[in-house]
Amino acid sequence: MNAISPDLTFDLADTSLRELNAALHAATGESNARRWRVLNPNGRHAVAVGIAAPLTVEIEGHVGYYCAGMNAEASVIIHGNAGVGLAENMMSGFVHVRGDASQAAGATGHGGLLVIDGNASARCGISMKGIDIVVKGSVGHMSAFMGQSGSLIVLGDAGEALGDSLYEARLFVRGSVKSLGADCIEKEMRDEHKVLLAEKLKAAGLDGSVDVSAFKRYGSARQLYNFHVDNASAY
Partner 1 sequence: MTAHSNVPRTPPRFSATFDPATLAEIRRAAATGIYDIRGGGTKRKVPHFDDLLFLGASMSRYPLEGYREKCGTEVVLGTRFAKKPITLKTPVTIAGMSFGALSAQAKEALGRGATTVGTSTTTGDGGMTPEERGQSQTLVYQYLPSRYGMNPVDLRKADAIEIVIGQGAKPGGGGMLLGQKISDRVAAMRNLPKGIDQRSACRHPDWTGPDDLEIKIEELREITDWEKPIYVKVGASRPYYDIALAVKAGADVVVLDGMQGGTAATQDVFIENVGLPILSAIRPAVQALQDLGMHRKVQLIVSGGIRSGADVAKALALGADAVAIGTAALVALGDNDPQFEDEYQALGTTAGAYDDWHEGLDPAGITTQDPVLAARLDPVKAGHRLANYLSVMTLEAQTIARACGKSHVHNLEPEDLVALTVEAAAMAGVPLAGTSWIPGRTGGY
Residues that bind partner 1 (CB under 8 A): 17-18, 21-22, 25, 45-46, 49-50, 52, 64-66, 69-70, 72, 84-85, 88-89, 91, 103-104, 107-108, 110, 123, 126-127, 129-130, 145-146, 148-149, 165, 167-168, 225-227, 229, 232
Cβ proximity to partner 1, 164 vs 215, nearer residue: 164
Structural element, H or E, at residue 196: helix 191-203
Round to whole Å and give the CA distance between 49 and 92.
13
Q: Which residue, 164 or 201, is less far from partner 1 as judged by CB?
A: 164
Paired residues of 94 in beta bridges:
75, 113
**Going by C-beta distance under 8 Å and a sequence separation of 6 or more, which residues neighbour residue 224?**
165, 182, 183, 231, 234, 235
Q: How far is the CB of 99 from partner 1 (least distance, A)?
A: 19
CB nearer to partner 1: give 94 or 167: 167
Residue 24 vs 155, nearer CB to partner 1: 24
Minimum CB distance to partner 1, residue 139 (Å): 15
- Phi, psi (rounded to 5 degrees) for 193: -75, -35
DSSP designation for 65: T
Nearest-10 Cα torsion for 15, 117, 216, 143: -40
Q: What are phi and psi of 234, to 5 degrees?
A: -85, -15
Cα gap 39→152, rounded to integer Å: 30
Q: Is the CB of residue 117 less than 8 Å from the CB of residue 136?
A: yes
Q: How far is the CB of 2 from partner 1 (least distance, A)?
A: 27
Spatial distance between the Cα atoms of 137 and 75, rounded to a whole number of angstroms = 21
Nearest-angstrom CA–CA distance, 144 and 151: 9
What percentage of the chain's residues is helix, strand, coil (to nearest 5)?
15, 25, 60
CA distance 111 to 128: 9
